[in-house]
A and B are shown apart, each in its own frame.
Chain A
């Protein structure tokens, strides 16, 4: 924690070495989050790129209230959500975006299966984006529901219900896979 404060202090004084160390420390974690959320490696890389460029531009005025990891994860989640909206609108049209988010295995999911290693990611890809987002932020990035609610701009009850429905759906997918 102190190391993080020192890094941020140095970063605010224009240290490129501090910026590089912050990037090195969190890059894999943030890319993993973006890949899980977007199910597309190139989109995920763009998100991490945009987040770090914005972060670098805040040197001198950046103020850390929580943890740096939490802050950067929130930035990645917000940026990924914007990308996902754009992509959904472009790929399938706004009217059918909700349907595409649901549980049929479309091209995005196939791409995810190809690009993301591990079975869980392909399962998560079958969840609606909002549920996937909450589950990943809570279980992989150790963010509390209140933090997630603040980051997403929704109520804590909404976050909790998304989380619960997401887990239920995952469970049913897993059970279905076993019975098949």
Chain B
């Protein structure tokens, strides 16, 4: 012993050789298997719950989309009949102008520019200068001379 120069080598060489007993092996393995089973059961429960949750969430999302779409459709459907109809665009702004335009157009179609010019002059001669906002009745009255 006194001559042991390298104590490390001595310790390394003298590593104990211990063997487990049958009863210890059984106890360790049985309890380890039980712990493993418990863990595996918990792990399996985990993904199943997650998938279930995912399905529920998917259904909830689909329901939400459906509700929003239905609400939008109902809102749009309700608003469409109440929307004001587009106003027709009239070239002439008053009955007087309509009659004037008809008469001028008829004169142009029948006699060209000369007839149109004559119609202008006759009209101005009969009616004289007047406001453009005359009603149809006033126009007829003025043209009849009454």
Contact = CB atoms under 8 A, between A and B. Distances in A.
B33 interface: yes
A59 B18 contact: no
A174 interface: yes
Interface in B5-35: 7-8, 10-12, 14-20, 24-25, 27-29, 31-33, 35
Q: Which of B35, B36, B38 has the most CB of A within 10 A?
A: B36
Contact of B7 (A59, A116, A119, A170): A170
A59 B11 contact: no
B39 A139 contact: no
Contacts of A14: 36, 40
A49 B24 contact: yes
Nearest to B3: A178
Interface string A92-133: 000000000000000000000000111111001000000000
A140 B15 contact: yes
A179 B2 CA distance: 8
Interface of A: prevailing SS: helix
Contacts of B7: 167, 170-171, 174
A139 B15 CA distance: 9
A2 interface: no
A156 to B, nearest CB: 18
B27 A49 contact: yes
Q: Which of B4, B11, B12 has the most CB of A within 10 A?
A: B11
A19 B35 CA distance: 11
A178 B29 contact: no
Contact of B19 (A20, A28, A59, A174): A28
A23 B32 contact: yes
Interface residues of B, number: 29
A89 interface: no
B1 interface: yes
Contact of B32 (A52, A124, A179): A52
B39 A31 contact: no
Nearest to A119: B14
B33 A23 contact: no
B16 A117 contact: yes
Interface of A: 14, 16, 19-20, 23, 27-28, 31-32, 35-36, 44-45, 48-49, 52-60, 116-121, 124, 135, 139-140, 167, 170-171, 174-175, 177-179
28 contacts: A27-B20, A28-B19, A32-B16, A35-B16, A52-B31, A53-B28, A53-B31, A53-B32, A53-B35, A56-B33, A56-B35, A56-B36, A59-B40, A60-B43, A117-B18, A120-B16, A135-B11, A139-B11, A140-B11, A140-B15, A167-B7, A167-B8, A167-B11, A174-B1, A174-B4, A175-B2, A177-B1, A178-B2
Given A139-B12, A174-B7, 15 more contacts: A19-B36, A28-B20, A31-B18, A31-B19, A44-B18, A48-B28, A49-B28, A57-B35, A58-B39, A59-B36, A116-B18, A124-B11, A167-B8, A167-B11, A178-B1
